[in-house]
Chain A
C-alpha cells in the first residue's frame, strides 16, 4: 500500500538558520510526491511536487525538496528560515494503485521559526 510518513510532529528552528522537514514514502511504482503548507486558520497551499527529472525540486516561497530514491525520502528544505514560515507542513504521495487519482497525506509537521 502507498503510504507517507512524517517522523517529526514539530520542528523548531531559529530565523536565518536552514530548515529541514522530513518525509519518507512507500510506493509500489514511481512516486508522485508533494509538499503542501497550511498557515494558521487557512486552507492548504501547494508548495512543490516531484514527478520525474531532477532530484532537487524548487517550489514556492524559497522552498525546495530533495528526492532520494535509495532512502525513499522527500525532505523539504529551505536555506534560511523566516518567522513567516511557521506553519503546518504536509507531505503527500499520489496513490498510483487507484489510478493515480487520489493523494495520501502524512500526519503533518508543525514548523516553529523563532526570531
Chain B
C-alpha cells in the first residue's frame, strides 16, 4: 500500500531465535499499530504507538516488544520466537487527531517459526 511498507515480506526462523519486523511509513502519521492475523481470530492488536518513544500494549503482547525511535519506523521484535507466533503480521497507520479514524495497512509479513 502506498505510504506504508513492511519488511521482510516472508521469513522462516527457528524456535528460540529473535526476530525483528519493520514497518516504515511516509505519511507522517502519529499512530502506528502491529496486528497479527490468524484464522478464526481476525486481527488482534499486539502493540501500538502514539508517537516517538510512546508505545503501549495490545491484547496479545506477551512475547513481543516494539520500538519507535523515529516517526516513520515502528519495529516489532519477537524476543525468542515460538511456533505459536507463526502468523501473518500487519502494520497499520492512522491519524485520529486529524479525524482520520480509518487504518491504512501494509502488505503484511508472513512469519513461520519452525
Residue ranges of A at the interface with B (Cβ–Cβ < 8 Å): 32, 34, 36, 42-46, 49, 51, 90, 94, 100-108
Minimum distance in angstroms from A96 CB to a CB of chain B: 11
Query: What's the Cα separation between A108 and B106 when bound, in Å?
Result: 18
A-B contact count (CB 8 A): 53
Do B105 and A44 touch (CB < 8 A)? yes
Q: Check A105/B42 contact, CB under 8 A, given A46-B102, A100-B96, A100-B101.
A: yes
Secondary structure of the B side of the interface? strand
Residue ranges of B at the interface with A (Cβ–Cβ < 8 Å): 1, 31, 33, 35, 40-45, 48, 50, 58, 90, 92, 94, 96, 101-108
Interfacial chain B residues near A103, Cβ < 8 Å: 45, 94, 103
Residue of B whose beta carbon sits closest to that of A108: B42
Do A43 and B108 touch (CB < 8 A)? yes
Query: What's the Cα separation between A102 and B44 when bound, in Å?
Result: 11
Q: Which of B33, B42, B48 has the most CB of A within 10 A?
A: B42
Do B45 and A46 touch (CB < 8 A)? no
Query: What's the Cα separation between A43 and B5 when bound, in Å?
Result: 11
